[in-house]
Amino acid sequence: MSAIWNEACNFNANGYGIFATVNEMDGFGYGVDGRPLENGVKTDTLEHVASIRAQVVDLDNLNAPQNSQRALQHPMPPQFYVQTSPNKFHVYWTVTTYRDNEWFKTVQRKLRQFYEGDPAVIDATRVLRVPGFYHRKGAPHLVTCYQAPGYGHRCDPGQLAATLAHITAIDDSTTGTRHKLGDPTLAAPSADWLWHALDTMPIDGMSHPEFIAFTAAYKQAGWNVAEPDMLRERWLAWCERFGNDSKGRDYNLKHWDSITDTEIGWKGLLRQNPSLNGAYLFHGAQAVPVRPLPPQPGSVPPQPVPVVPSPQSGSGNAVSPWEAGAHPLNSQYGAILTADECKSWFAGCAFISSTGYMFTPFGTMNQTAFNAKYGGKRFVINPTGAPSDEPWKAATRSVFWTVPKIDYPRFNPNENFGMITEDELGRMAINIYRPAKIATMKGDPSPFLKHLSLVLPDANDQRILVEYLAHNAKYPGHKIPWALLIQSAEGVGKGVFKLIMQHVIGHSYTYFPNAKLLNDSGAKFNGWMDQKLFFVADEIRTDEKRDMVEVLKPIVSEREIELQGKGKDQVQADNPGNWLFFSNHKDAIPINDNSRRFAVFYSAIQSVSDIEARGMNDDYFRALFGWLDADGARAGLKIVADYLMNYRIERGGLPMRAPRTSSHAEAVTAGLGPIASAIMDAIEAEAPGFRGGWINRDMVRDMLKRDYSTQAITKAITDDLGGKLIGRHSTPIIQERGYTPRLFRLGEWRSLQHYMADQGYHG
> Longest C-alpha distance within the chain, in Å?
108
Residue 667 is predicted with a pLDDT of: 87
The pLDDT of residue 317 is 33
- Name residues whose C-beta falls within 8 Å of residue 346's C-beta, 6 or more positions apart in sequence: 374, 391, 394, 395, 403
pLDDT of residue 322: 56
> CA-CA distance, 5 to 475, in Å (whole number)?
57
What pLDDT, on a 0 to 100 scale, did the predictor assign at position 422?
86
Cross-strand pairs, 725: 744
DSSP state of 734: G
Beta strands in 303-375 (DSSP E): 336-337, 350-352, 357-360, 363-365
Residues 374 and 392: their CA atoms lie apart, in Å, by: 9
Closest CA to 286 of 702, 640, 646, 540: 646
Distance, CA of 185 to chain centre: 23
**CA–CA distance, 148 with 144 (Å, rounded to integer):** 13
Q: What are phi and psi of 728, to 5 degrees?
A: -100, 135
Rounded to whole angstroms, the Cα distance separating 426 from 407 reads 10
Q: Quick one: three-class SS letters along 414-482?
A: CCCCCEEEECCCCCEEEECCCCCCCCCCCCCCHHHHHHHHHHCCCHHHHHHHHHHHHHHHHCCCCCCCC
- Closest to 279 in 3D by CA, of 200, 222, 217, 204: 200
**CA 295/CA 279 separation, integer angstroms:** 10
C-alpha 637/C-alpha 543 separation (Å) is 36
Q: What is the pLDDT of residue 604?
A: 94
Q: Which uninterrupted H or E stretch holds 745?
A: strand 742-745
Q: How far apart are CA 346 and CA 339, in angstroms?
A: 11
Q: What was the pLDDT predicted at 179?
A: 84
Coil/strand/helix, residue 104: helix
Please, which residues bridge with residue 409 across strands? 430
Beta carbons within 8 Å of 292's beta carbon, 6+ residues apart: 279, 283
DSSP-derived letter for residue 133 is S
Are 690 and 699 in contact by the 8 Å Cβ rule? The answer is yes
**At 508, is the secondary structure helix, strand, or coil?**
helix
Mean pLDDT per block of 10 residues along the chain (763 residues) reads 85 87 86 66 80 94 84 94 93 94 92 87 90 85 94 91 81 62 90 89 78 89 92 91 81 86 84 68 50 35 30 35 64 82 87 92 89 89 81 92 90 86 88 91 94 94 96 94 94 92 94 74 71 89 63 85 73 88 87 87 94 94 90 88 94 92 88 86 92 94 86 89 91 88 92 91 70
DSSP 194-233: HHHHHHH---TT--HHHHHHHHHHHHHHHTTTS-HHHHHH
For residue 107, give the amino acid letter.
V
Measured distance CA(484)–CA(480) in Å, rounded = 11
**What is the pTM (predicted TM-score) of this model?**
0.53
In b/e form, how buried is each residue of 315-338, taking b as 16+ CB within 10 angstroms? eebbbbebeeeeeeeeeeeeeebe
Other CB atoms closer than 10 Å to residue 24's CB: what's the count?
Answer: 15
125 half-sphere exposure, CB direction, 13 A CA radius:
10
Q: Alpha-carbon Rg of the chain, whole angstroms?
A: 32
737 SS3 class? coil
CB 653 within 8 A of CB 471: yes
Q: What is the pLDDT of residue 729?
A: 92
Backbone torsions φ then ψ of 267, nearest 5 degrees: -65, -30
Could you give the C-alpha distances from 75 to 91, 123, 163, in angstroms and in order? Answer: 14, 24, 7
Please count the CA atoms within 13 angstroms of the CA of 453 that sit on its side-chain side.
12
